[in-house]
Chains A and B, each alone.
Chain A
Amino acid sequence: MIPSALGYGLRSALARRKRWLPFLIVVGVGLTVVGTSLGVAGRASDRARASADRDGADRVVEVEGTLNTGRQVRLDGSTLARLGDVPGVERVLPSSPAPLGFKDAKVPGALLVATAIRTRRPPMVDPEGAPPKLRPGEVLLPRRTVDSDLKSVLGRKLVFDTQRATGVGEGTAASYRLRVVGLYDPKFQPDGQDVAYTTEFDNLRLAAANSGLAPAQFQRREGFDTAEVVVRKGAAVGPVLARVQRLGLPATTLSQRLEALPTLLSLARDLGLFLAVVLMLVVVVTTAGQTAAAVRARQSEIGVLRSVGYGRGAVMAAFTAEALIAAVVAMVAGVVGSFALSAISGRLLRDRLDQGAILLPGLTLPTPGPLAAIVAAALVSTFLGAGFAAVRAARLDPSLSLRPG
């Protein structure tokens, strides 16, 4: 009798499609938005993780020489030596930002920040690939800055200007000659879009000059702003991170940083989770309400079903099936909608987000896992909502249901 009841529910859902239409629209649109929000954020998260893994960023602990527990922690020579002595550390690469500018006939002006190039997850150069190994006197620039296209400077030796401090609040201009050996895509790197990558040697020279010190004095007295600590094995990252933090240094893993989604995607994920919960509540309440209304309006029909031999389970199945069929249609619409909206929003976000090209390359489609979980949860919610009301239908006294009036 149950298969017959399911067929009965199908015909009933078809006959009452107009009544189910608002439910179909709300759930279909809701699932589209939820699937898209979670899908796009999930895709970006997966890509960020894969990108961090691919580039070996999962073996890097990033250390900052900023204020910590109320005192300035300097990444000076002795601190760097202590970092290098931490068990499991392969090497330590310090860096300090230093302003670096230039202009010529084709470039009206470019203001950049010089920093030492990363050994892990370096920027991607054109055509996409690893940058050349830098030697002293060489620099890697972004393909474009805010106002200028820098393609014309590739391969040229340029005179860069920086500031040499001469006293408190005083300084003079200083020039450095560096050859541009590569242009990176500003979307494909984690240090910002106006970074000029140099060797550790040139970065020390520039940073020291910027502080008005000789390189040796800078290392001893001033210290660097950041250090990239490369760990020998991924499994050792946790212990190294803990040891570095015990030294009083603020430290995070690079992969953590890379995997932290841009604010917009993070908001999309949170919104998606919130809407998913709301959607489930809407599904439960709506299916319970629709089914309860149907039970009230169709009491004599329920009596007829019982009189022709439908058992309580079959009556319950018929009414639950009607809601489930409506839910399945809404789910199909929502899944199709989320595929379409994911593709569209992925395309739009790619050009508008920091690292959008890394996070959302190609066609963006919803992540199957979360989408399947939402669909399953919505079907369970429908079953619960409709089932609750359908129990009432099954418990109706058929004798009373069949009495006129």
Chain B
Amino acid sequence: MTPAGGGAVAELLAASRDFETAAGRVVALAETSLAVEPSEILGLAGPSGSGKTTLLHLLGLLLRPSSGEVRLEGRETSRVREGVRDAFRREFVGFVYQEAMLVSHLNAVRNVTLARPGLDANRAQQLLTEFGVGQLADRSPAQLSGGEQQRVALARGLAHAPALFLADEPTSNLDDASAGVVVSSISGQAGTGGAVVVASHDPRMLDVCTRVLRLEHGRVLEEAA
């Protein structure tokens, strides 16, 4: 486990998260401290329910920690109001998920420019071309294959060159060709100075990680080489 550092893009400082359920309190992530540095690709491995997604959502400001702090670009985000967290997320964070989760009534270009008023259609088209789906820019998600959808989702997540890119099982539903594009894109993002945290079981993905944390039952057990 890497201690929190001053130049980190994102940090968890003794952050934990638990949930109230009908069966009682469930600890999704026990007290954890870590830092994600620029150009780092941090892998998260572990079985389902081990806390990988919870950790990603804490870093992405989709969840508030039950205790501890989450820092993004050096700023404490856990106790600020929701609107500030939304603005941080919009500016600094990009996501891609196991499923592409494209908005069904928007075409590929509009999915890329979603919530990015400063991003024009030409730049979105250029991004789609970089991901090999430039010719599909006007198509709706229903007209795209799973791999094509995931490439559009990647373009959406990386469109604003986020300081922190979070990927949750991004290759698990993809064929080799599409998975290769995703892996190389994530590597490329780190190459531009951005930090990446990726939860994955896929060896192709974990192989490009600079560091891999193994989680079980909400705890970080070890740091893989």
Contact = CB atoms under 8 A, between A and B. Distances in A.
Contacts of A15: 104-105
Contact of B115 (A4, A312, A397, A402): A4
A403 B53 contact: yes
A310 B53 contact: no
Interface string B71-92: 0000000000011001101110
Contacts of A403: 53
A293 B105 CA distance: 17
B9 to A, nearest CB: 17
Contact of B101 (A303, A310, A312, A399): A303
A298 to B, nearest CB: 9
Contact of A301 (B63, B83, B103): B103
| Interface residues on chain B, size class | 20 to 34
B86 A310 contact: yes
B57 interface: yes
A79 interface: no
A300 B82 contact: no
A308 B165 CA distance: 12
B151 interface: no
A402 B101 contact: yes
Interface string A277-313: 0000000000000000000000011011111111111
Nearest to A301: B103
A311 B82 contact: yes
Contacts of B106: 11
Interface string A385-405: 000000000000111001110
Contacts of A399: 53-54, 57, 62-63
Given A11-B105, A15-B104, A307-B62, A404 B99 contact: yes
Given A1-B115, A4-B117, A402-B97, A307 B89 contact: yes
A295 to B, nearest CB: 15
Interface of A is mostly: helix
A221 interface: no
A301 B106 CA distance: 11
Nearest to B97: A402
B91 A309 contact: yes
A304 B82 contact: no
B93 to A, nearest CB: 8
Most central of B60, B62, B87 by chain A CB within 10 Å: B62
A297 B114 CA distance: 20
Contacts of B95: 307-308
Contacts of A16: 105
Contacts of B54: 399
Nearest to B82: A312
A252 B11 CA distance: 85
Interface string A2-22: 011000100110111000000
Interface in B90-148: 90-91, 93, 95, 97-99, 101-106, 110, 114-117
Contacts of B89: 306-309
Contacts of A310: 86, 115
B101 A300 contact: yes
A323 to B, nearest CB: 15
B92 to A, nearest CB: 10
A68 to B, nearest CB: 72
B198 to A, nearest CB: 15
Contacts of B53: 399, 403
A206 to B, nearest CB: 80
Contacts of A308: 89-90, 95, 114-116, 156
Nearest to A310: B115
A1 to B, nearest CB: 7
Given A301-B101, A304-B101, A311-B87, 4 more contacts: A4-B117, A11-B105, A309-B89, A311-B82
Interface of A: 1, 3-4, 8, 11-12, 14-16, 300-301, 303-313, 397-399, 402-404
Interface of B: 53-54, 57, 60, 62-63, 82-83, 86-87, 89-91, 93, 95, 97-99, 101-106, 110, 114-117, 156
Give 8 closest A-B pairs by Cβ, nearest first: A309-B90, A15-B105, A311-B86, A308-B115, A399-B57, A399-B62, A399-B63, A398-B62
